[in-house]
């Protein structure tokens, strides 16, 4: 547990690098802000402190594009202001800042991975903390029209889990000291396109329903820095990744 400081130090002694992935997700943080603080901030800080005391030389931290808040302009680079307005985004910003402090005070090397919307086999399929892709697939499986809020022209970047995992390993191996990277596909798609693709891949003749909403989004990310310093390029096309998810979901859920 990230709450057990002594256990963390004993466990991490002798490790060269640590991947700090422990976190509550956005909706969990919204539902329980105190738990968000205890896990995403205090727990993560415990890991940073244990790494420093155990002599770990490098940390890769799983952050999120949620640190950007409502970004302007696009494409979003890593130099964009950190303006997260959710408890989840705030918790990620806090640990990014603590990493900067640990690097400055103790020379701890780190890389921050700001993931966009990661999807693929083994993602959550039950409970409130499921992704929009899973919710659409649930409706389709139940022969119910997928519900789209607004006009469906909100744009998001979806990155396949294997691409995200490969980028994470490259971040650990990179010859950098204190950098943040957008881990994204570099291709943004609308919710309309996402739903149309899911309907096609599932051979469904359903049509989406639209519900009036003021939701707007225009998430386009620069992936130049990750390409330049990590040698990372996303390889999985959205339709291929979604098909892999659909097949896994049919087999294991």
Q: Is 178:116 a contact under the CB 8 Å cutoff?
A: no
Is residue 3 included in any domain, yes or no? yes
Q: Is 236:163 a contact under the CB 8 Å cutoff?
A: yes
pTM metric for this prediction: 0.95
Counted domains in the chain: 1
pLDDT at 158: 98
Mean per-residue pLDDT of the chain: 95
pLDDT at 72: 73
pLDDT at 178: 97
Quote the radius of gyration of the chain (alpha carbons, Å): 19
Is residue 26 included in any domain, yes or no? yes
pLDDT at 218: 86
pLDDT at 126: 84
Is residue 243 included in any domain, yes or no? no
Distances (CA, A) of 102 to 58, 181, 201, 219: 11, 18, 47, 31
Task: For residue 101, give the CATH number of its domain.
Answer: 3.40.50.720
Cα separation, 139 vs 135, whole angstroms: 6
Is residue 169 included in any domain, yes or no? no
Cα separation, 49 vs 26, whole angstroms: 24
Is residue 22 included in any domain, yes or no? yes
C-beta neighbour count of 212 within 10 angstroms: 8
pLDDT at 129: 64
Is residue 153 included in any domain, yes or no? no
Is residue 231 included in any domain, yes or no? no
pLDDT at 217: 82
For residues 119-143, one letter each, b for 16 or more C-beta atoms within 10 angstroms of the residue's C-beta and e for the rest, the string is bbbeeeeeeeebbbbbebbbbbeee
Instruction: Show the domain range for 61.
Output: 1-115
Is residue 224 included in any domain, yes or no? no
pLDDT < 50 stretches in the chain: none
């Amino acid at each position: 547990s990230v709450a057990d400081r002594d256990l963390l130090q004993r466990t991490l002694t002798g490790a060269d690098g640590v991947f700090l992935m422990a976190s509550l997700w956005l909706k969990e943080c919204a539902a329980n802000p105190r738990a968000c603080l205890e896990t995403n901030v205090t727990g993560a800080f415990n890991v940073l402190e244990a790494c420093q005391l155990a002599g770990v030389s490098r940390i890769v931290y799983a952050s999120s594009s949620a640190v950007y808040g409502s970004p302007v302009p696009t494409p979003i680079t890593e130099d964009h202001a950190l303006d997260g307005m959710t408890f989840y985004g705030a918790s990620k910003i806090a640990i990014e800042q603590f990493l900067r402090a640990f690097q400055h005070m103790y020379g701890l090397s780190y890389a921050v991975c700001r993931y966009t919307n990661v999807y693929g086999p083994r993602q959550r399929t039950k409970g409130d903390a499921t992704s929009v892709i899973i919710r659409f697939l649930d409706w389709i499986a139940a022969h119910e029209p997928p519900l789209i809020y607004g006009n469906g022209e909100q744009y998001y970047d979806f990155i396949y889990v294997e691409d995200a995992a490969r980028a994470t390993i490259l971040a650990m191996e990179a010859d950098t000291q204190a950098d943040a990277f957008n881990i994204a596909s570099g291709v943004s798609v609308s919710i309309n396109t996402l739903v149309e693709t899911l309907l096609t891949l599932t051979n469904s003749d359903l049509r989406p329903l639209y519900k009036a909403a003021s939701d707007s989004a225009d998430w386009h990310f620069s992936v130049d820095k990750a390409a330049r310093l990590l040698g990372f390029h996303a390889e999985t096309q959205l339709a291929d990744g979604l098909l892999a998810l659909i097949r896994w979901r049919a087999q294991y859920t």
